[in-house]
Amino acid sequence: MENLLYEAALEGSLPTLLELLQRDRLILDKIDTNSFSESPLHIAVLLGHVDFVKVILSRKPELAREVDSITRFSPLHVASLKSTSTNYVEMVKVLIRVDPDMCLARDVEGRNPLHLAAMKGRIEALVELIRARPLAAYAVTIWGESILHLCVKHNQLEALKLVVEIMDDPNSLSAKDEYGMTILHLAVADKQIETINFLLMNTRVEVNALNTNGYTALDILAQSRRDMKDLDIADSLRSAGALKAIEMQSSVPGVIGPIRTQFVPSITQLGHIKPLRWQKTTKKENWLTRKRDSLMVVASLIATMAFQAGLNPPGGLWQDNDPNTGSQANNNSTVPHLAGTSILATHDLGNYSRYLAYNTSSFIASLSIILLLITGLPFKRRFFMWILIVIVWVAITTMALTYRVSTLVFTPKEVERTVTRVIQYAVVGWCIVMGLLLLGHTIRVASNLFKKLKNLLGKKRRPSPLVYSTNPEF
């Protein structure tokens, strides 16, 4: 009999259900004693048999409180997950009418039906569930995640907007999970730029909240994988007043925070302490971070341009095959060529070789910069950063030379001399500017190295410092 009941639930067969109830009025009461992990109500809800569910609940409404033995899902949990159609939304309404307190029921991970509906973006079901038990929207999982955390974690922006509008609670917006992560931390870590903009422009989310590691949302962005969205996200965060943790420490006079113990002097060092050294270190790190970000953007743009220029050389590509040679080629007034090869290479191999050499140099230089920046090498000194900047200069200069060859190819013979002269003057001026910059920075780097070497030699010759007594009577 019980097996027949489960088969009827699979098929959603009302005649079979009614027949079984006539044959055994206690068949629904015997469900608790069987060996199945799910009740027939779970199965009917899962498959969307609304009429079948209504009949079962009319005979035994207590089944709405039953949970399966594995995930601890109630029928309302199942309906909330599956509410992708009007049929399932109706199922949610039926179950809520029978027992609205099941909105508060928790599965093995501490999630209630509202959590599951938010994770899947089931907007209509979410409205019904919150309307039935608003308190369920404030519950958290065993990991300390609120319904807002789950919306962001599963990238459900519409569900997030709905819950934020209904709850209207600043404390929920700044709530933290087990790891101290707010919803802004999660959105930044996952590069959800639309969610970030919504939170910053339409809510009162705390932009400088710290997680358990002491990181703000801006710190999370700096430590995450590189992405084309990074600049937009950083601009949005900065516009909203976001700071890095180290900047927050430096903004409070006299408070150094976690790095304070690194600069507590011993009595033998009092004559050599440089005040506010940590502020200088902060400025240096900020400078290096900005330089790295700028170099990544510039190198990416140059690599894109060089790649496109390599695939589309000046003059285009031959579209047909013409393997004629000798007198046949002269009669047809064409040059032997193959489809897909460069027209410029066929007519002017010298210019094509120069074009290809300049463009390839620019492409390789920009790829080298990208590779060095994403490999995680510790470019935390200005000397290494200057090396990267010099490589960028090489990439930009070779890109300018590529442009020069391209314009010469496009220019008609009648005005070629005049245009060539103008381009030559421009290139010479450009090379002079780049040379002066390179010379200036080289002198600066050499000067810094000389000063460090001089200080190092001076320390070796300097007598050992006096050791002060620690006796209080001193």
Q: List pLDDT tens digits, range 344-387.
A: 777 778 878 888 888 888 889 888 888 877 765 555 556 677 77
186 closest CA partner among 244, 145, 158: 145
Share of the chain above pLDDT 70, in %: 78
- pLDDT for the residue 180: 92
199 closest CA partner among 226, 237, 229: 237
Instruction: Check: CB of residue 103 under 8 Å from CB of residue 129.
Output: yes
CA distance 427 to 338: 34
CA distance 57 to 44: 11
- pLDDT for the residue 263: 35
Q: Which sequence spans correspond to the domains of the chain? A: 2-199, 295-459
Backbone angles phi, psi at 364, to 5 degrees: -65, -40
Instruction: Check: CB of residue 201 under 8 Å from CB of residue 164.
Output: no
pLDDT band at 183 (very low <50, low <70, confident <90, very high): very high
Whether the pLDDT of residue 207 is over 60: the answer is: yes
Kindly report the length of the chain: 474
- pLDDT tens-digit map of 237-291: 998 899 988 888 765 544 444 433 333 333 333 333 333 333 344 444 455 566 6
Q: 284: how many CB neighbours lie within 10 A of its CB?
A: 13
Pick the most confident of 321-330, 388-397, 408-417: 388-397
Write down the pTM of the prediction: 0.53
Q: CA torsion angle for 459, 465, 470, 474 (degrees, to 10)?
A: -150
CA distance 34 to 465: 86
Give the 3-state secondary structure of residue 85.
coil
Q: How far apart are the first and last CA of the chain?
A: 98
Q: In the predicted model, what is the mean pLDDT of residues 50-70?
A: 89
- CATH 1.25.40.20 given to domain 2-199: yes
Q: Which helix (H) or strand (E) holds 432?
A: helix 416-461
217 closest CA partner among 236, 194, 198: 236
Write the CA distances from 280 to 277, 385, 441, integer angstroms. Answer: 5, 18, 21
pLDDT band at 194 (very low <50, low <70, confident <90, very high): very high
Q: In the predicted model, what is the mean pLDDT of residues 310-331?
A: 66
Whether the pLDDT of residue 29 is over 50: the answer is: yes
Q: In the predicted model, what is the mean pLDDT of residues 309-331?
A: 67
